A and B are shown apart, each in its own frame.
Chain A
């Protein structure tokens, strides 16, 4: 049973709600067009009637008629502009569907609604549409990855001739995490390191694979089925020679640590390197343009997918924020976890001035893939130290090419030459220390070259020193 207290409370809540709506623009109000129509229309018609000026009356009549027509059909009813719930996590950049439910009520004629714009990061542009009641289907603006606002339904409605407006209202924001895409790599891009006695790669240890490692004299503990009778008889067994056994290699899986340099995010324009936009810090979807961090993340996701598909263990070390380390693991869940961590790492890019890769983060015998634009000596030194610890280290250069000098300064070309020379010396130093340097180019098949080189490393006992064009 409704009491008088309930009624008073509901009345107060109603007034409060109305007051809040009034402050946020969620109500209909007259515009300058209405005032203009009334003032000029009534004024000209009155002037024409009083001073017997038919021409003035005729000029003012359309304004007065349009204004009165707009006032007789004033907009009414509740306005609803609401985005449909979208998945918080999107696996892959191609799932871009979004929807907005729109009900403009009666009398509204124009709807201005902010919608995502193809090729543009963020909530997008304002579209001016006929008002009505419909479900509007649109697509997420970019096919980039990352975390950010994909839709924010800022809106404004207008009545006849825009005499009354509702809003502008800042709409609810829809955020999505889009995982970095996985570009398929050619099969088997894996240099092996023994970490266990099962897996897809040849280990240096003896084991039970089919690949011959050695033939040696029989020793206590050898299984009888390993005896090579042909070699034993040829050596003179059972009279003078000894029994020989065939020793085979063990199969091993690999531990791979992807070391991502998130301290810098730069593009091809040297003039943008110092700006906040190029530093990459903060949230937002990253459009698929050539930026070093975008290339590094796409490369890391693709490499991780390839390794995990072969049953290897893959981990992630953020050189800028060591606390975001993801220890090596296997399986599809690890790939999902790793891609999520890549988004998290890129969101906090530019956090640390020095790269950190603690020894305990890299398992013994693991391969370390350092993805960096190699713009400072610290990261090169880190790669060399990791190689000296006994790990196989592969450096992947993700700096977009070709670099463009700053045209606004006379020193632009000199700075570019200096940057190139420093990088050349740095990468040569890496190669001299036995760290192969590969280049991952931005694009759908950017990893093909890297995959081919990694395959070559599979057959080499020691990694070959590689020089790339820079």
Chain B
């Protein structure tokens, strides 16, 4: 007699009494799924406002506003990527108040928030009920990453500016390339 395959009886169902029972009414406050798209729109508007404060012309703001609206309507499109990446590059053109100016730090937060909220909005249907407890872990991770990046910014602020050694720059580029290779390997792994 052969044993049943491992996938035939999932561990969760083999011992049903060990599984906690949760009533859907006890899952906490829920908001409609379209609220996430509203968040994407609000964050996009904030990005455009930051660019405007940095001195970007109205035409650029209109283009980025349209990208933001497209992202809110279709979060799984390329619009959030274009908005985030484009805002970072455009800010280099109009930023005259230093690399650690408040506008730059605001963009650090906003572009990350745009990325996270677009990702979530892309998988949540508009009419769904989003239980706010879902956001707990992403929020914690968001804050952790922001803390790391702001710590990096703090270190960069106190390090004296000047020309870096060539070896260090080559290592930095190799490091970025290594990260890209790591990501590709992870993606190809099944």
A residues apposed to B, CB below 8 Å: 30-40, 42-47, 49-50, 52-56, 58-69, 71-72, 74, 78, 80, 82, 99, 101-103, 109-110, 112, 115, 125-130, 133-138, 156, 158, 160-163, 165
Contact = CB atoms under 8 A, between A and B. Distances in A.
B22 A63 contact: no
B78 to A, nearest CB: 8
B89 A56 contact: yes
Given A69-B145, A130-B136, A138-B24, 15 more contacts: A32-B76, A32-B77, A36-B84, A40-B115, A49-B172, A53-B99, A55-B107, A56-B92, A59-B87, A68-B182, A74-B186, A135-B20, A137-B24, A158-B120, A162-B120
Main secondary structure of the interface of B (DSSP, over half): helix
Contact of B129 (A36, A80, A126): A126
A39 B88 CA distance: 13
A135 B16 contact: yes
B149 interface: yes
Contacts of B165: none
Nearest to B85: A40
B44 interface: no
Contacts of B158: none
Contact of A126 (B128, B156, B179): B128
B131 A31 contact: no
12 contacts: A32-B81, A36-B118, A50-B173, A53-B92, A56-B92, A58-B152, A58-B156, A59-B84, A74-B189, A127-B128, A128-B124, A129-B134
A69 B145 CA distance: 10
B116 interface: yes
A33 B118 contact: yes
A342 B174 CA distance: 75
Nearest to B101: A55
Given A55-B99, A112-B124, A62 B112 contact: yes
A134 B13 contact: no
Interface in B127-160: 127-131, 133-134, 136-138, 141-142, 145-146, 148-149, 152-153, 156
B119 interface: yes
